[in-house]
Amino acid sequence: MPLGEGETPRTACARTVLRAGVDEGSGEALPAAVLADRVGWCADLVSGMVAELLSTHWNTTDVDVLAGGQDAGGRKLPSKAWMALRRLGWTADCGAKVNDRVVRMAQEQAGRALRSVKWRADLVAGILAAWPAAPKRRTTEEWDAVRAAIPGGEYLPSGIIRCRTRQIVSFERRHSRYPVGVFELEPTPLVARMLLLAACDKQQATIERSATAPTKALLRLQLPIRPTPQKYADWTWVACPVTLPPTVPANAVLHLPTLRISGGKVRADLAYTHPVPKARRSGHTVALGVDWGLNTLLSAGAAWLHHDGHITVRAGAQFRAAGVLAKQDRLRRIFECLRAKTDHYQRLADPALGGKAAILSQEIKHVSERRSKLNDALAWSAARWAVDQAVAAGATVIYLEDLRSMEAGGMGRTHNTRLSQTVRGQITGRMRHLAAEAGIAVVTVPPRNTSKHCPHCLTPLRHRKAPDRPTVPGWKWAICPGCRWQGDRDQGAWQRIAARGLAHQAKTVADRGSGQMAIYAVVDTMEAKAVITATSKTSRVDRSKTSPTRPRTNRPAPRRRGIPSPVRPVGKAGQRPEGRAPTDRTGLPRAAHRHQGVTTISTPTNRHNPRGAALGSGFHLHAHASPPRWAEPAPDPTVRMGSLS
């Protein structure tokens, strides 16, 4: 791919659906159902070989040999998983006539699973080697010992170590002994029914973009004509037209997709590569700081690093998802209740309860799908909002806290659970994906003391319940005893994050494998410079009086479009009001109370009940985002208008 100056290749994935195909041998048109059957037959052959490979080599010895990177002759193993397995002589038979490329797909899928378990095996081995005296409460020396025993454990989130520790404790409680390794803790993984066409060459599958229609492509692949093919004649070429999503650029290079069956349809995960602006690790002068919250899921704002070293900020913004998180929490409680009922039926072991258990299993699957879709929608929406804020501010980097595995505590059972289950990891991944298109770097910074210290003087803050209750302890409102700054806790946190990132940008490290950027440690000398300089508040527009004051009416007209009312109909029928004012509902449902901004007040006494989530409304009805505030808003001609009558 030809790249210009300051550009780098970026590989992304787009989802599409194969709706039809044509059998090139017979010329028969294959509808979606027949195409799904033929793809499913091939996927069954591949998944059978993958299951055989995993069951044979799911042990410590074989995984260490594969991760060692050398074969029996001392030669270096290839980076492609299917080639590495062939070099080691690991193969499988499906009992049918398949070509070599189908075996490649099975070896590629199995090799990826065996390579990925190596990190978990080293993690469990390190925890067992440095097992503490009290697993629930490690001392500082025990934390240092377990991190030293894990490869790369210096910057490993503590939540991952605690989760594996609880898993080992549960195993010891059931079996009265500690596990040997991760292969006793985890059974052989389930095999997905999919076709990794990326492991094939043109003898099995090809894809070509249309020269006349940029949004069209043609995928050709060999598929069986029966579930168990017995000869090569049972495989025929099938041509499938592909409609590319609008997110795929016209200059992108297409790669062979991954096919999977979902809902009776053939879905294709199409990978493509296109040039994007190259993100920088350092040299940033405008940054966007992002802080995590609960009802206010994201709080963000831009910070400017000036040539003399001082940092200034402007007004921030918020992404409020109280309604979405309330709905997510309600689905979690429903899921836990259904799981408890299912476990109770299993303990009873009554054959008469088999029908009820089957119904509960279907309901659990349905609730799980709803939770997954809601989390996915929330992650994409929050990530898009954060990237749009960075683009609007002209920022070249986004700094956010590394709270992917945080376990909240000290804020009550409900708040702790909801905060711990926020999809921060998904939002961070989506944010990196979207920011790469604009050449914006996404860097994680250490979260220590971002909400505890003042952004202007680094003095420990006093957290109160609300600004009108300065003596009641709380966690929402922050007051600085040093410089007397006060503000919303999340607003002060994003200022600290942005200032810390700009001051420590020389310490940014990029991972060689994934390319993810992070700042792992805080340097005291650099942290002393990460302070916000207060700016004088000056008006951005000249408000000098140049004309007489416009008279105001005591009865201003409602803010609606100035469309004349129609003639009053004859009879008892009512008259339609001016404009497009709705007549069937008094107001639009809103998700969250407006008591979570900088001008927040004390919490209302009535119970918080997001209306959008309670009524089952759509996603965007109860997810609210502040618009960018760095551009001068357009004047509203309806403000301070007199009555139209």
pLDDT digits (tens, 9 = 90+) for 240-295: 999 999 989 988 999 999 999 998 999 999 999 999 999 999 999 999 999 987 66
67-81, 363-377, 619-633: least confident range: 619-633
pLDDT value at residue 598: 39
The three-class DSSP label of residue 211 is: coil
pLDDT value at residue 557: 55
Q: For residue 645, name the pLDDT band (cuts at 50, 70, 90).
A: very low
pLDDT value at residue 167: 92
pTM of structure: 0.78
Q: Which residue has the tokens 């879709």?
A: 373
Q: In CATH, what class is 286-327+375-527?
A: alpha beta
Query: Angle between the 100-129 and 158-175 helix axes, to the nearest 10 degrees?
Result: 90
pLDDT value at residue 420: 59
Alpha-carbon gap, residue 318 to 304, rounded angstroms: 19
Sequence-ordered alpha helix ranges (H) in 349-441: 354-393, 413-420, 424-437
pLDDT value at residue 74: 86
Q: For residue 386, name the pLDDT band (cuts at 50, 70, 90).
A: very high
pLDDT digits (tens, 9 = 90+) for 410-460: 555 555 555 555 688 889 999 999 999 999 999 999 888 888 899 999 999
Alpha-carbon gap, residue 226 to 97, rounded angstroms: 11
pLDDT digits (tens, 9 = 90+) for 487-515: 888 889 999 999 999 999 999 999 887 88
Residue 156, C-beta contacts closer than 8 angstroms, at least 6 positions apart: 147, 150
pLDDT at 562 over 80: no
- Rounded to 5 degrees, what are φ and ψ at 511? -70, 135
Q: For residue 129, name the pLDDT band (cuts at 50, 70, 90).
A: very high
Residue 354, C-beta contacts closer than 8 angstroms, at least 6 positions apart: none
Q: How many CB atoms lie under 10 A from the CB of residue 544? A: 5
Q: For residue 484, name the pLDDT band (cuts at 50, 70, 90).
A: confident
Domain boundaries, the chain: 7-34+199-275, 46-185, 286-327+375-527
pLDDT value at residue 642: 40
pLDDT value at residue 599: 41
The span from the first CA to the last CA of the chain, in angstroms, equals 65
Residue count of the chain: 645
- Rounded to 5 degrees, what are φ and ψ at 136? -80, -20
Distances (CA, A) of 425 to 95, 361, 370, 384, 558: 42, 28, 19, 15, 44
pLDDT value at residue 617: 52
Check residues 270 and 603 and name the one with the higher pLDDT.
Answer: 270
pLDDT digits (tens, 9 = 90+) for 22-34: 999 899 999 999 9
Q: How many CB atoms lie under 10 A from the CB of residue 551? A: 7
Q: What is the mean pLDDT of the chain?
A: 83
pLDDT at 615 over 50: no
